[in-house]
Amino acid sequence: MTTAPARQVFRLPDLGEGLTEAEIIEWKVAAGDTVEVDQIVVEVETAKAVVEVPIPYAGIVTRLHAEAGGVLSVGEPLIEVGPADAAEVHPAAARYREEEQAGSGNVLIGYGTGHASGTRRRRHGRSRPAAGTAPATGTPQAPRVISPLVRRIAREHGVDLAGVSPSGPHEVILRRDVDRAIARGTAEKPAPPSSPAGTAKALTAERIPLRGLRRAVADKLSRSRSEIPDATTWVDVDATGLLEAKNALRQTQPELGVGLLAMLARICVEGLRRFPELNSTVDTGRSEIVRYGHINLGFAAQTDRGLVVPVVRDAHLMTTARLAAELTRLTGLARSGKLPPEALTGGTFTLNNYGVFGVDGSTPIINHPEAALLGVGRIIDRPWVTGGTLTARKITQLSLTFDHRVCDGGVAGGFLRYVADCVENPAILLAHA
């Protein structure tokens, strides 16, 4: 081993999956702290997930290059570390520098040293009160706002920071908190009374940065619409039988946790086995249609950060019970903001249950670069003719959007009809199990 240099600058690493920037959510260390190789030093939010970033150096933190709420691009300085007593360059740090220079994109994958992470080290020569505690004098504590940008935005929009609920670590007010306060204030303002002359006053325009998850979604959907010649077909189906099957499973085998989404996922998997044209993508560079030999089923999940699409890998190898367990696991991670980036990529087909929003139908946009997406509307009582008799049944609408380059309407209609038949009569699945 060799003696550590006077200063080590750790730059925001390549987070993979084409991500180019990240927002600082919470620092796990501060200037003066001692850190070890592989210790988690910061939590950042990318367009795909919240990521804990380890540092490949050991020593004393001398500088943090960004504040909570700030946005850094890949390659920008993140944190500086100076030498501690007898500090040495760890082999993992040297390997990190080689990977960084080579652009391997693997710098966030464990450095293999086995050090514990996530704990703050003792600071040299000084102490401070716990974050969020009030001063000893008993005076009210002022709102904790670290970013000057956040203060400026609040000032420009007349937002009283004392009334803003913080969502950042240690009750720090972040930009998104101010944005919510601005939006809430705009919504709560009464409409201005009409002037005697009958002229109307214009509403104040609001500019919201398109970044993070919203920007990633916008880029992907725009690319889908610009590259894929999509078409949508739909059908109304009687879902009474599917609901009865779900309720029967819940009563007889509640430990399996099989819900409606898991049953729809199983139906999609079986449909793709019979119509593999829809489990594909188009390689425009080679002018080829690529039909996958596996099914990675994506499903839309609504979270506080917006709509994300976790992916159930190798869904074709799973039983309905295993599908249900994986859907539950991924949904929980998505809603807690802890989905790793790799859990949001690699899908070959997407299932979107937009009926949870109380709507009947939609023309979904394909999740590029996939070739198809099945949408499911709300299930409600409607008049339906069964055996020549008009009765009330549980009806839903299924919508299939597909890439017209990979198949024609016959294949798309065949897949949708198979799914509809399974929804109306789940016993069909047993014939092919």
Tokens of 387: 């055996």
Structure token pair of residue 238:
């009687």
Q: d(Cα 151, Cα 295) in Å, to the nearest integer?
A: 48
Of 65, 316, 404, 432, the active-site residue reads 404
- Phi first, then psi: give them for residue 388, nearest 5 degrees: 80, 5
As a 3-state breakdown, the chain gives helix, strand, coil percent values, each rounded to 5, of: 30, 25, 45
The overall longest dimension of the chain from CA atoms, in Å, is 88
Instruction: Return phi, psi of residue 32, to 5°.
Output: 100, -15
Contact 179, 208 (CB under 8 A): yes
Sign of the torsion formed by the C-alpha atoms of 30, 31, 32 and 37: positive
Q: Is 368 a catalytic residue?
A: no
Calpha distance 180→186 (Å, rounded): 10
Amino acid at 52: E
**Residue 12, amino acid:** L
Nearest C-alpha neighbor of 406 from the set 318, 300, 279: 279
| Amino acid type, 156 | E
- Active-site positions read 404
